[in-house]
Structure 1
Amino acid sequence: MTTQAERQLAAGHWLLSAAPNLRKSRDDWKVKGSTWLRPGVLFGAIVIPADLVHRALDVDSPNQCRRLLATHLEGGPVFYSPEHFRREGSYTVLVTASTAMAWRSRGSVAHSYRALLQVPSPRASEPQAGDCPWWVVPLDGPGLHCRARPLAALITAGRLADDRTRGSRHA
C-alpha cells in the first residue's frame, strides 16, 4: 500500500523527466509551486478554455467542477491555469503523447511538443498566489493519462452548450 505522499513523489519524478533543467525545475516547484516542462514523450497536453469546461459541466469555477471533472474524465489528471486564453483561464489535461500529436478538436489546443508548458507541483491542489496553475484533478501517480474519448465528449458538450446559448440569444 502506498501513501498519497509517495504517489505524489513518484508523480513528481515522472513529470520532472520532461524538465529541460532538472535542478531548476525542482527548485521552481519548491519556491514557485510550478515549473516549465516540455511534454511530448511521456505525456502530452490538451488545453481547453475554462468557459467551455464550465459550460459543459454547468458550473462557474474550478472548485465547483472538481468532482464532476474527475468523474467525467475518469480520474484523468487535469490542472487549472488562471492566465491562459487571453487571461480567461484554462484547463490542461494530461494525455498520452500520441493522443496529443493526433488531436484535432475545435475548442481545444494540443500543446506542441516543442513548446514549454507551465505545470504545477504534484502537491499544488489548491489555488496559489499569482497566476500559478494548480491541480483540479490531481495526478495520482506516474504515467497516468486522461483517455481521449471522455475528453472529446467533454469538449463536445461544452461546444453544444455554447451553441444553445448563442441560439437562445439570437432567437
Structure 2
Amino acid sequence: MLASGHWLLSAAPVSAQAKAEWEESGAAWLRPSFLFAAVIVPAGVVHAAVGLDGPEACRAPLAEALEYGPLFYSPDDFSNEGSYTALVPGRVARLRPIPGVVMHPQRALLLVPAPGVTAPDDSGPWWVSPLDGPGLLCPPERVAALVAMGRGFLAAEEPQDA
C-alpha cells in the first residue's frame, strides 16, 4: 500500500479492520479529524460548475480545478443524485460553512474508497482524483469557488417569476 493509503488508515477507528474492508469491499469507514475534513457537494452542483455530466467526464477538469487534491464520487448520496467528497485540511471544519454543501462532521464515520479504487464498481465510492500523497489535500478556497460557480449556474437556469 502506498504512503497515502497508510496516511488515510490513520483516520480509521481500527486500522486493520479498515484495511480489510478496503481489500474486501473497496471502501472503509474512516473518521475525519485533525488530519482532514470532508466537504460533500451534490453532483448536480459540481456538474453545473464544469459543464459536464457524470463523474467520469468530469474527472480531468475537476482534478485541475482542485489542484489535483483528493476527490471521490459516491453514487448513492443526495437521494441517488450522487455526490463528490473533497478532502480538505482539518481546520476547514471549524470555519464558516460553505452554502450548498455538507461539511461532514468531524469524528463521524465517512465511507472512503480504497486508494486504488479509481473507477465505478458496484455502486460504492471511487476516486475521481486520488490522494497523491500524505496530507496533499484540496485547497478549500478552490472547493468553495467550484461550489459557488455551480450554484450560480443552477440559479441562472431556474425559471424567473415575472
TM-score interval, normalised by the smaller of the two chains: over 0.9
Asked if the contact 1:43/1:95 (under 8 Å) is kept, the reply is: yes
Structure 1 runs (4+) deviating above 6 angstroms are none
**Pairwise mapping of residues 32-111 of structure 1 onto structure 2 (< 5 A)?**
32-111=25-104
5+ long unaligned stretches in structure 2: none
Specify which of 149, 152, 161 is matched with residue 144 of structure 2.
152
CA–CA distance in structure 2, aligned partners of residues 46 and 58 of structure 1 = 20
Structure with higher helix content: 1
Query: Percent identity, aligned pairs only?
Result: 48
Residue 103 of structure 1 and its aligned partner are, at CA, apart by 4.2
What's the counterpart of residue 116 of structure 2? 123
Give the secondary-structure state (helix, strand or coil) at the position aligned to 1:36. Answer: strand
CA–CA distance in structure 2, aligned partners of residues 16 and 163 of structure 1 = 39
5+ long unaligned stretches in structure 1: 1-7
Q: Quick check: 82-91 or 44-53, which moved more? A: 82-91
Q: What letter matches 1:153 in structure 2?
A: A
Q: What letter matches 1:17 in structure 2?
A: S
Structure 1 residues 110-130: Cα deviation after superposition (integer angstroms, max 9, x where no partner)? 11013100000000000011x
Corresponding position: 1:161 with 2:153? yes
Give the TM-score, by structure 1 length. 0.91
Give the TM-score, by structure 2 length. 0.96
CA–CA distance in structure 1, aligned partners of residues 2 and 23 of structure 2 = 13
